[in-house]
Chains A and B, each alone.
Chain A
Amino acid sequence: GAGVSQSPRYKVAKRGQDVALRCDPISGHVSLFWYQQALGQGPEFLTYFQNEAQLDKSGLPSDRFFAERPEGSVSTLKIQRTQQEDSAVYLCASRKTGENIQYFGAGTRLSVL
């Protein structure tokens, strides 16, 4: 596609529910990143994929967070048993091999009530 696409744009969940956030990167981009952006803060790194391999998950805040990219294209970030502190904008970015620029989607705003 023309850009990084994320869905849904907005998600409201009740505390304890599971959610799944989708990222469709730019076609052909090997690298994919997930970031979490709390209100009024800069993004914080969550996890990184190269093709289907998850090479770095050091930023995932707890074992309730899980990400996958099974075919090396679309990625899903899953949050189990959501808590209020999970409320944030979740950003996905992709990067072409050999380039140093990450291209961002518009993000998914998650609100946990």
Chain B
Amino acid sequence: GNSVTQMEGPVTLSEEAFLTINCTYTATGYPSLFWYVQYPGEGLQLLLKATKADDKGSNKGFEATYRKETTSFHLEKGSVQVSDSAVYFCALTDGNNRKLIWGLGTSLAVNP
């Protein structure tokens, strides 16, 4: 079945550092891909998405490109801030109802 593999955390960076969180997937068909973020004490929020190969999703300085040839959707940000500290989840749609299949999440801590 479809699955998502994310790099393990925690990831600790200094403010203004470059961020990459790796996400690879296994899927049949043409899923949509998502990054969701969970800030401390809050619910899951959509960060960005891509619906087809070579699409680039972007939001709040974060970017991810849907790479079908490498089955990847890596999350990047050029300069992280303390406020980016959160848990990041990669997910894909699955099946006719397009439920979400999730990675395990990657915890990011950004120090001033």
Which residues of A line the B interface, CB within 8 A?
A: 4, 31, 33, 35, 40-45, 48, 50, 55-56, 59, 91, 93, 95, 100-107
Contact = CB atoms under 8 A, between A and B. Distances in A.
B32 interface: yes
B93 interface: yes
B98 A56 contact: no
B25 interface: no
Given A42-B89, A100-B51, A106 B43 contact: yes
A105 B43 contact: yes
Given A43-B89, A45-B99, A106-B42, 6 more contacts: A31-B97, A42-B102, A59-B99, A95-B98, A100-B51, A102-B100
A105 B104 CA distance: 19
Interface of B: 4, 32, 34, 36, 42-46, 49, 51, 89, 91, 93, 95, 97-105
A44 B102 contact: yes
Contacts of A33: 99-100
Given A41-B104, A41-B105, A42-B89, A100 B99 contact: no
Contacts of B44: 43, 91, 93, 104
* Chain A to chain B: the 10 pairs with minimum beta-carbon distance, closest first: A42-B102, A106-B43, A104-B44, A45-B99, A48-B97, A104-B43, A42-B104, A43-B102, A100-B32, A56-B97
A95 B97 CA distance: 11
Contacts of A43: 44, 89, 100, 102
A100 B57 CA distance: 14
B105 A42 contact: yes
Nearest to A31: B97
A103 B89 CA distance: 14
**Which of B51, B93, B99, B104 lies at the interface centre, i.e. has the most chain A CB atoms within 10 A of its CB?**
B99
